[in-house]
Amino acid sequence: MTHSSTSNSDYHLHYHTPTISWRAALWLAIPLWMLALGVWEWFWRHQGYEPSYLNSVGLWADARRKVGTDGNRDLVIVGSSRILFDLDLNVLSEELDAPYPIQLALEGTNPYDFLHDIAVDPLFKGTLLVGVTEGLLFGRPGGERGDMLQRFQKQTPSDRMGHRISLLFEHHLGMLDPDLRLFTLIERMDWPDREGMPPRFLGVRKLSTMDRFRESTMWHRLETDLAYQKMAQDTWSTILSFPAPPLTDEHVTDVIGRIHSDVDLIRSRGGRVIFVRCPSNGHFLEVERQAFPRSRVWDRLIAETNAIGIHFEDYPQLQGYTLPEWSHLAAGEKERFTSALAKIIQEQKET
Amino acid sequence: MLFNSLTFVLFFGVVLALYAMPMAWRAKKGILLLGSYVFYAAWNPPLVILIWISTLIDWTAARRIHESSSSAHRRAWLSLSVMTNLGILAAFKYGAFLIENFNLLLGWLGATFQPAAPDLVLPVGISFYTFQTMAYSLDVYQGKTEPSRSFLDFALFVTFFPQLVAGPIVRPGYLMPQFEKPPQRDPGQFVWGLFLMTFGLFQKVVVADNMVGPVSDMVFGTGGATNALDAWTGVVAFSAQIFCDFAGYSTVAIGSALCLGFHMPRNFRYPYAAIGFSDFWQRWHITLSSWLRDYLYIPLGGNRKGRTRTQVNLMLTMLLGGLWHGAQWTFVVWGGLHGLYLVGERILKRLWGDRSTHVAMLFALGLLTWVLVLLAWVFFRAPDFGTAWLMLKSMFGAASPEKCLSSYHLAMAWGVTLVMLTCHWKLRETLVSDFVSRMPSWLVALAWAFMAFAIAVSGGSDDAFIYFQF
């Protein structure tokens, strides 16, 4: 910057080709790389990580773009992980005689923004199932995947093409699981706690697998590996112990008021909204009952929006399922639960 | 299109395959040009029009400048070129910033009129391609280069995809002659290009995005108030992140151009081993600093008009260089700090002479340079002055005793920093090419396989390169 000369030799310095045998380097590097990847894939498959579609922006966007394609027969699901993991989409479609459901629920995420997004979409005239996890719907805005709508709206042609290419690999490679990312694994190693810092919280570990249409199923290890199951329960206990602002009636009124407007908007186009409270049990349910009493939250939501509400505690056929980590149904329970839920929805429709 | 995306892998494979087909050189250049437009449109198709406008205006202006014997006409055509490019920049990049500051000024003067700021999408890489194409008109005006006889070559010079959105900013006299005839490749150049692409992606995906990026995000995410060790850790993490992110981009750009048979200038030379700030700016983002030197600092008078004027020219160049990075006052302060560093260095050199020849002294000066660069990075990274100020206070233990980083994050940030500084110091006078030349082929293969493996298992991050926003 201090030389007043336009001749600048460093500018023209470029990378000349090093004088090594590049052909040999390339033909050694490729098999080494493939061998390393092969061993990596084999090791994780051996640990039970089967290939699964990634719960990506692209997959969600594919589902979101289908909203409105079946007119008033559209069946769309928003909510959090319970309604994401607990429903068998084939069974739901068959039992309700509806097109294949559009699964838009997102784990650990406040579903309000997504309910609103569907409400203001003039193309949507069908049925909207809203999964209610009180701690999320009446909690802080956003959450784990709270930026999904923005990312969907900002998808570029390149992003969409990248997703198409990714789909070719995802269901063949177990190592693509987010839990197996190199630096996630390194971070989860036994690093010493730092004095003055709370114990490390490393987030929720793998709970489910996903198919091309975002149907999620509990990962088999939660049912077969008791240590892993205990770890998942401990994770919920930690999350449930995080300090949260106390629930106020003003806040509940505000949330229900906004939901009510959105429900009315959907109804004005001929659509309908059904709220579903999926089962939870154990310590999770105890905390939920204490922090979000039905009379202050669920009952008001249903009464004030005048919508259909299906709470698992009100229906014996929605109770008694296996929830290995207190919050989501075991894989084998989905079909029975969905069938029972669909029958209730059908009955509600007819009355 | 991001280099760190599957779309780019497919795109580059298709371009290479088409480019390798037996056809006329002109047809191959046509493929590269079309590919470059696709590369840009894959992000936001309508904004390709801005590149076309720049291309057409500068092509016409340069020819008219060259053909005209009237200095008034020549100046008019040059003005058209400069105003078009700066106008596009001003409208899309600085429009909202200008109006926001205009409103502040009006408010300060007591006026109630508040024009609304435009809500325009910032075209990716706009600062890079406008500077590159503007250099063409300026060079033709100054007689440094003749206008290209081929519109295809010129359009490709403006749009050439490896360096379109984040440089290196290439001069017309450097790149356009390479388009005139099919390139003569060195043996092994294609594979060397692939190796460099892998190395660049390793820096970006593994080091910047996974090892140090999360640490700086965490520290700056606190709003700046944290304990001194954590604050310094956040800043050293950012210094590693921005280097690996940007040098990584440049390395992929250089590598992909090499695969196609073209050379690109180096953009980085181990900047954290710089001793002093004139040295730093000959090592950091070299193609921008040389652009600013040749098209701003020297036209302002450079060091030819006395000491005071030299210092003023330096400050102006660095302030505008700061603003080039983004429409925020924090970037201007970052540039201003570097301007002050350069001015201070000149004054000290004049007072004390260049006596620093002892190795220990050079190392101490290098360390001082790095620490001052770190302090300036605070303004570059912080979203606002409040955060920057709190971060500086935190670095000197005056903001908060709260810790925000785990031992893992500390180990990542300082581990990467230590390795990076050691590499920069060890290699400061060498070229990567020379370093690789000294390695046996099997070791290169091992390093290559390791980097490719680490990229594949670090997981896809869709983080854009930091310099895309500039």
Q: Which two tokens stand for residue A17?
A: 């080709």
- In angstroms, rounded to a whole number, what is the distance separating the alpha carbons of residues B451 and B201? 9
Mean pLDDT of A230-247: 90
Residue B466, pLDDT above cutoff 60 = no
- Indicate yes or no: CB of A14 within 8 angstroms of CB of B445: no
Question: Environment class of residue A260 by beta-carbon count within 10 Å: exposed (0-12), middle (13-18) or buried (19+)?
Answer: middle
| B188: pLDDT strictly greater than 80 | yes
Q: Is residue B172 within 8 Å of B48, Cβ to Cβ?
A: no
Contact A193 B407 (CB under 8 A): yes
Residues 6+ apart with CB under 8 A from B443: none
Q: Decide if pLDDT at B464 tops 70.
A: no
CB atoms under 10 Å from CB of B413, counted, come to: 29
* B244 pLDDT above the threshold of 90: yes
Indicate if the pLDDT at residue A10 is higher than 50: no
Interfacial B residues in 391-420 facing A (CB < 8 Å): 403, 405-408, 410-411
The H or E element containing residue A249 is helix A249-268
For residues A281 and A266, what is the distance between their CA atoms, to the nearest angstrom? 32
Residue B427's alpha-carbon distances to A286, B203, B367, B401, B432, in angstroms, are 61, 17, 16, 38, 8
Who wins on pLDDT, B421 or B96? B421
Instruction: Give the range among A42-51, B110-119, B296-305 with minimum mean pLDDT.
Output: B110-119
The band of A339, judged by pLDDT with boundaries at 50, 70 and 90, is: very high
Contact B266 A14 (CB under 8 A): yes
> Per residue in B31-73, pLDDT tens?
999 999 999 999 889 989 999 999 999 999 999 999 998 989 9
Chain A interface includes B259 (CB < 8 A): no
Band (pLDDT 50/70/90 cuts) for residue B99 is confident
- Confirm if B170 and B163 have CB atoms less than 8 A apart: yes
Does pLDDT of A178 surpass 70?
Answer: yes
Query: Residues A207, A219: contact at Cβ < 8 Å?
Result: yes
By mean pLDDT, which of A119-128, B198-207, B229-238, B461-470 is the weakest? B461-470
Which residues of B are catalytically annotated?
A: 325
Mean of pLDDT values over A137-151: 91
Q: Between the CA of residue B283 and those of B198, B243, B272, what are the distances in Å?
A: 22, 11, 8
The Cα-based distances of B296 to A338, B290, B293, B343, B470 in angstroms read 69, 10, 6, 17, 19
Distances (CA, A) of B380 to B198, B318, B400: 28, 13, 22
ipTM: 0.88
If you count residue pairs, one on A and one on B, with CB atoms under 8 Å apart, how many are there? 203
Q: What tens digit of pLDDT does each residue of A259-298 get?
A: 999 999 999 999 999 999 999 999 999 999 999 999 999 9
Which whole number is the average pLDDT over B267-283?
94
Q: Are strands A208-210 and A216-218 parallel, antiparallel or unpaired?
A: antiparallel
CB A188 within 8 A of CB A86: no
Q: How confident is the model at residue B470 (pLDDT cuts 50, 70, 90)?
A: low
pLDDT above 80: residue A257: yes
The distance of A199 to chain B (nearest Cα, Å) reads 9
On average, the pLDDT of chain B sits at 91
pLDDT digits (tens, 9 = 90+) for B7-24: 999 999 999 999 999 999
Of all residues in chain A, what percent carry a pLDDT higher than 70? 95
- Residue type present at position B44: N
- Per-residue pLDDT band for A12 (boundaries 50, 70, 90) equals very low
- The whole-number pLDDT of residue A4 equals 37
Q: Is B468 a residue whose pLDDT tops 80?
A: no
B436 and A CB contact within 8 Å: yes
- Judged by average pLDDT, the poorest of A25-29, A88-92, A347-351, B285-289 is A347-351
Residues of chain A contacting residue B449, judged by C-beta atoms under 8 Å apart = 28-30, 32-33, 36
- pLDDT at site B389: 94
pLDDT per position as a tens digit, B143-184: 988 899 999 999 999 999 999 888 799 999 889 999 999 998
Q: Express each pLDDT in A28-67 by its tens digit.
A: 999 999 999 999 999 999 999 999 999 999 999 999 999 9
List B residues 137-196 in contact with A (Cβ-Cβ < 8 A). 144, 171, 174, 186-189, 191-192, 194-196
Q: What is the CATH number of domain A64-145+206-350?
A: 3.40.50.1110
**Which chain B residues are Cβ-neighbours of A178 within 8 angstroms?**
459
